[in-house]
Amino acid sequence: MDAFRHVNPTGAPVDEMPLDLFMGAAVCFDLRHIPDLGDITAEDMDVAEKKAGVKVHGHIVLLCTGFHNRNYPSIDSVWKNPLLTVEATRWLYERGSRMHGVEGPSTDKPTDNIFAQHRLCRDLGISHWEWLVNLEELLGKGEFQFFGVPLKFKGGSGSPVRAFALLDN
């Protein structure tokens, strides 16, 4: 996970971020139609929300693009991830989502050195997990509880997590 310090030298390090940020009600969006190096748009989020049957209201939102299954363990797994557009990030923020997760190494495209999505997360005070796997297992499950709690690295700009979901069924 990326701590607020990840893109802001004065942002909170991982050990100072509130623990409740990393757990809670969640939903997984089916975005497997998004190609490698494609863009996840606000319109994609609207469609995925309807398909998931869960109205996002403060939820953790996990984005399943099928990227990991298509690319791991090839070198493409670090060079072809989709982009979460700034409009889609604003879509999450406007619905109270403080954390979201993706399968690839970044929420920004690897060819983009501007890091617009990371910068917007910084400005909005939200963050994300990267390198999540097995998100396909969460599709169609509705709302569930998700946990992605970081290690408490003093002053850290990020941390590995042990991510897991608790399902009702």
CATH number at residue 27: 3.50.30.50
- Residue that is written with structure tokens 């406007």 in the block: 94
Is residue 52 within a helix (H) or strand (E), and if so which, with residue range? helix 42-52
Q: What is residue 94's predicted lDDT score, i.e. its pLDDT?
A: 98
- Strand (E) positions, 31-163? 39-40, 60-64, 83-84, 99-101, 127-129, 144-147
| Sequential pLDDT tens for the chain (169 residues) | 999 999 888 999 999 999 999 999 999 999 999 999 999 999 999 999 999 999 999 999 999 999 999 999 999 999 999 999 999 999 999 999 999 999 999 999 998 889 999 999 999 999 999 999 999 999 999 999 999 999 999 999 999 999 999 998 6
Determine phi and psi for 68, rounding to 5 degrees.
Answer: -60, -50
Which residue from 18, 120, 117 is spatially nearest to 63, judged by alpha carbons?
117
- Nearest to residue 44, comparing CAs of 25, 65, 24, 66? 65
Could you tell me whether strands 60-64 and 83-84 are parallel, antiparallel, or unpaired per DSSP bridges?
unpaired
Number of domains in the chain: 1
Of the candidates 139, 81, 86, the one whose C-alpha atom is nearest the C-alpha of residue 110 is 81
Peptide bond into 150 cis (omega under 30): no
Its domain, for residue 119, covers 4-166
